[in-house]
Amino acid sequence: MFSELLDTQNTDRRYLPPGCAHDINRQVLVQKAWETLKQAQQHTEVRLKKYIVTSEVSQGTFHPHYELLGRIYFIRAKLLTFFPQFVPKDEQSLPTENFSGQRRTRASVHWGRLFLLEKARLYAAADGSSEVYAYYASIQSCSYLFAAFDTEENLELSSHIGNKRLNRSSCLEWAKLLRDHALLAYSEMGLRCYYEIKEKSGLPEESDAYGHYHIDKLPAIYESRNLKPTTTHNRENTFLTLDMSLLGIDVKNISKLTPNHPTHNIYLFGTNACYLFFVRGLYLLCSDSTDEFKESPEIQWKLKLKRALRLLDMAWAIADNGCSITRTKQTGQTIRKISRSFTPKRNANQYTSNEIESVQDLYPRRVSEIAALGKIFSAACMVLLLGVIPPKERAVMNTNINNLLGMLHNSNRLSQTLRAHLARQKRYDGNLREYLSNSSHIIKRYATELSRSSNQSDLKTCRDTFIKELFAVLHG
């Protein structure tokens, strides 16, 4: 994905993809990425055809053929999401193609992304990877939410495959169904990661060594359930308190969609759990129910938004690079120490909470897009809360909004050691740079409007308009 990572202003040839001139632009990079994916798909399909010719069809079902095809379609969906006008016309890969002049229509973008993610999800199912399936289903659920907040005329597709139409209610239904599919598919992996954390916490050694990397062990874990936030803070740092009302889901809340319905709680542990938290929080924010799993006749906005905020906070906290890394010399070798402090990082210029602090140092891995998008929609929840909280609490909420937006990642925040691990690139999250800037302006504008007005009487209309704007700027 050179189109996302490459700094087009950097003329250092070490950063250039093969065969690219120093004056390459983003549009050409996207087109090259798309063409490379076509070549990868053709190569994989040729291999599968050879198995048929040699009467070894069963060999084609082996790993990694379907995994590769799923990944190819998923990367195409990402390109179509972030650079819809740079993706070349390709009716073979995108039967949903529809143009108005030289520009791809919004309907074509929505339908094309859903088509590509459906293919990726089905290939993940064929490969047998429940974790990857959950990951793709989560993103497809989010894509239905993007479509739900667009106008109906932008959801009507006329292409060579016929006329297709979506509406808000059907999009929300599909988003909910795919969210449930993702949670059920992740249950096995989540349970495994849950047991691994329990088994490896509270051990006497200070760290584990993985080659040149030394990583701190986890402290002993205390599982809380539905306790008040003030009681989940661990002041003595002798154990780590995890709120299982967020990290665990009662399987009875989810409809039985498969014969192999889990009999145990669904646990959202593991690095990819951030995708599940993100889709849970985003769906709750966008739905018309107070509870994420139950229908309600009337929306209780304060309860709804606070719950969505906590879920989205968990998403970006798990996805963020909370651990700190330092480099030292020991017996002539370079050792990289990954520290997990799990201590409150009380900084007047940063937004945090007990839930964030409890999971931010769990995994030394960054899922960059969820870390950024999670912060954006957490801030969106705070903005809408301005319409339901007392006026005296709005100053603190506005401070939290500004602090959270100030935490959006960029290369200036990278430590020297982290910059070295990223080949000293000067850019980071290039595919999100414009979106983060535009969405931050939208959030601040709505925060100002809601802070000046009395309690919002029609918060649903405000929510719909606000979220529609945030989704719209995602496509440029």
Strands 248-249 and 266-267: antiparallel
* Short-list 83, 84, 1, 70, CA closest to 36: 1
Query: 424, 210, 237, 425: which is closest to 337 by C-alpha?
Result: 210
Query: Does residue 285 belong to any structural domain of this protein?
Result: yes
Confidence grade of residue 324 (pLDDT, cut at 50, 70, 90): confident
- The answer to whether position 427 is within a domain reads yes
Mean confidence (pLDDT) of the chain: 86
**Which pLDDT value is given to residue 232?**
43
Strands of 161-296 (E only): list them: 162-165, 207-210, 213-216, 220-224, 239-243, 248-249, 266-267
Domain contains 218 = yes
pLDDT interval class at 327 (50, 70, 90): confident
pLDDT for the residue 15: 62
* Token pair belonging to 4: 């996302």
- Looking at the structure of the chain, the number of domains it has is 1
Please give the Cα distance from 476 to 25 (Å, whole number).
17
Q: Domain for residue 57, yes or no? A: no
Whether the CB-CB separation of 332 and 322 falls below 8 Å is answered with no
- Mean per-residue pLDDT for 333-360? 82
pTM for this one? 0.91
Let me know if residue 107 belongs to a domain: no
Mean pLDDT of 160-165: 72
| 197 falls within a domain | yes
CB 262 within 8 A of CB 186: no
Cβ contacts of 146 within 8 Å, gap of 6 or more: 110, 113, 471, 474
Q: Taking each helix axis from N to C terminus, what angle separates 106-127 and 130-148, rounded to the nearest 10 degrees?
A: 160
Average pLDDT over residues 26-54: 89
Q: Is the pLDDT assigned to residue 156 strictly greater than 60?
A: yes
Is 264 domain-assigned? yes
Neighbouring C-beta atoms of residue 476, cutoff 10 Å: 13
Q: What is the pLDDT of residue 230?
A: 41
466's tokens: 């606000």
Work out the number of other CB atoms within 10 angstroms of the CB of residue 45.
13
- Evaluate whether residue 7 is within a structural domain: no
Residue 145 structural domain: 129-475
